[in-house]
Structures are given as structure tokens and as C-alpha cells.
Amino acid sequence: MKKNLSIKEIAELAGVSVATISRVMNGNGGYSAETEKKVLDVIEKHQYVPNLVAKGLRTSKTPIVGIIIPDIVNEFYSKLVLHLQMVLFEEGYLTTICNTNESIKLETQHVQALIAQNVSGLILVSGSSYISRPEYAKVPTVYIDRRPQKWDRDIIYVESDNVQGGYMAAKELLDCGCQRIAFITDMLGQSSKTSRYEGYCKALAEAGIQVDPSFIMQVKNAKVEDAHSLVKGVLMQGMQFDGIMCTTDVIAIGAILAVKELGLLVPEDIKITGFDDVSATTIIEPNVTTVHQHVNRMTEVVARLLIELIEGKQPDEQSHCIPVTLVKRESTRGN
């Protein structure tokens, strides 16, 4: 195995000081174009990789960003992480991914471990808990998708326009003739799901329809089997509705399978909408009408805000709301 040279050895080969190597690698200036080319040629020839651990010990932070995610299997979250990694890598940061399985305890443990490793910053994707300890406040942190349940200082937060998304999904069902619209979610207490519910209520109010509390349902987990079991159960018990607004595509897919299993038709008997626009929505029959979240835009904003915080700058705005788009497919229109 080829030995990775030290920065001192790279400096000797380039005929410059260690400080010059560091300035060139960090783009800090103070060197000629000839020196820069010479240094970069040596680095490329010997495939020099900086020792991030050693650098972290010297500077009290490493160019690593910790990303906390609740469910890496969930396609929407996987897309977020993938794009965050790509954007941050282009800016010179590596990433460490930690999965919490929606556990506040595990999330807290991951955050503590990342801070102990002197990471440059944290991104909490759908953070369940909140950072309130003094030592946490020193670490640049950006939340994405879901607001923490409690907070004792200003936060930097990026989300999709969930209220508008919920409104568009419910209005699509109304525009297609639905009058009795069920609302199914997995975690109504989360800010993103609460906002989608707010949009649902707004659309019904505009249509002069009163929200029926019995139509507001919650699955234990956002899984196809859980949604399938819930929808099949309430339909078999005699509950009647002609539309279902689901706060995730996974729930929508489970609902479609349950409706079809009972011999009913989608969209003829019951129309269904989802949220997220994951790939499975175009595979299942019928294809799912859903709300598309613009992941690329969200991650670009998150990365920019985090880097500003890392560099000691205070962003102009604390929260950012990214527009969403309704994607109409067969589960509402049937064409």
C-alpha cells in the first residue's frame, strides 16, 4: 500500500514551506501563480490527502459536517443526504451520516459524538429533539424539513412550503369532485405534517366543507403495510369517503393497495394524493398524484447557510420556505 505523505514531505518536494502548502490548499493567497502550480503538481503527483484528524486537533474543528437523518431507507431523506453530500463536497467538506430511526435518545447521542469529533457543523434532517445545551450552541447548525419541537434560541431552518403543499393536494381532490376527504398522516405532531394538515383545513374551508374529526387518521409508522392495514380496516368498518389526502407517498401507496384489495377503484371510487414525489409513485398502478419537493433547491440553501455560519457570518433570514409543485397523475384524474 502506497504511503500517504505528510504535509512536511510535500513541502520539501515542492521546495516551499509547510505554511505555503497550507495557503495553497485553502486558497488563502500570498503566493505566486508559479508557486501555486508547483505545489498543485506535487500534490496531484503524490495524491496527497490531508490528515483531517490532525488538522482538527490543531484548529479545534475538522472540515466535516455531521448529518442527522431519521430514516435512511426513506427515499426522500436519502435524496436529501445525497444532494447535501455532493454540494458540501464541492465546498470542501466531507460528511458523516447518522441514522436515528426517529429516536430522540439516539439522535442526542449522535449529536454528542459528532461534537466530540470537532465537526465544523451539523445538519439535522427532521430533527426530533433540540439543541439546548451550551456546548451545542457553539456548533453551527441548520435544520431542514422539520422544526425542532422546542427551542431556546433562534434557529436556522429550511423547509418546503408544506402548508401550500397540503392545500394543493386537498384542492386537487376537491376539484376532482371529492366531498368527503380523509386525511392520513404518520406523525401529526411534526411541524411538516401539522403544516400539511393546515393546508388541508384551508382547502376544505374555502370549499365550505367542515372538517370531520373521524376522517383525521394516523398510522403508527409511515410504512406501506401500516397504511394498508388502517385504510382496509376503516373501509371494512363502513367508513365512507371519496378522497384520501396522505402526508407521504408511502402512506398513499398503502392506501391504494387497500382500496384495490377491497374491490374498489382508484380514482373512480376513491381518489388519493401523496406527498414527496418518490420514484414508486410512477410505478404503482394507478400512478400517484403527489406534491413534489424540490430537494436540489433545499440542499443548496442549507449548504449555503451552514457555510455562512461556519465562516462566522449571520444569515439575513432565520427561516427559508421552498415552493412545492403539484404533480397530477392517475390517482386523481384517471388519465
Q: From first to last of the 335 residues of the chain, give the pLDDT tens digit.
A: 455 677 788 888 888 887 787 777 766 677 888 888 888 888 878 777 665 555 554 455 678 999 999 888 889 999 999 999 999 988 888 899 999 888 888 888 888 888 888 899 999 986 655 555 545 567 899 999 877 766 545 788 899 999 999 999 999 999 999 999 999 999 877 889 999 999 999 999 999 999 999 999 999 888 899 999 999 999 999 999 999 999 999 999 999 999 999 999 999 999 999 999 999 999 999 999 999 999 999 999 999 999 999 988 888 888 899 999 999 999 998 54
Give counts: helices (H), strands (E), the chain: 13, 12
Are 164 and 324 in contact by the 8 Å Cβ rule? The answer is: yes
Residues of each domain in the chain carrying CATH 3.40.50.2300:
61-161+295-322, 162-294+326-333
CA dist., res. 3 & res. 227, Å (int): 54
Residue pair 319/162 in contact by the 8 Å Cβ criterion: no
Tracing cell 504511503 back to the chain, one arrives at 3
Distance in angstroms (rounded) separating the CA atoms of residues 222 and 226: 7
Residue with cell 420514484: 279
Q: What is the pLDDT of residue 2?
A: 53
Burial track 4-21 (b if 16+ CB lie within 10 A, e otherwise): ebebeebbebbebeeebb
Q: Which CATH architecture has domain 162-294+326-333?
A: 3-Layer(aba) Sandwich (3.40)
So what's the pLDDT on residue 1? 44
* pLDDT for 6: 74
pLDDT of residue 135: 53
Give CATH 1.10.260.40 domain extents, the chain: 7-50
pLDDT at 131 (0 to 100): 54
- pTM for the whole structure: 0.80
Task: Please choose, from the candidates 130, 136, 170, the residue with its C-alpha nearest in 3D space to the C-alpha of residue 152.
Answer: 130
Q: Are 199 and 167 in contact (CB under 8 A)?
A: yes
C-alpha grid cell for residue 173? 381532490
Please tell me the distance from the alpha carbon of residue 224 to that of residue 58, in angstroms, as a whole number.
49
CATH for 61-161+295-322?
Answer: 3.40.50.2300
- The amino acid that residue 227 corresponds to is A
As a whole number of angstroms, the distance between CA 250 and CA 136 comes to: 34
**Distance between CA atoms of residues 76 and 251, nearest Å:** 13
Which CATH architecture does the domain made up of 7-50 adopt? Orthogonal Bundle (1.10)
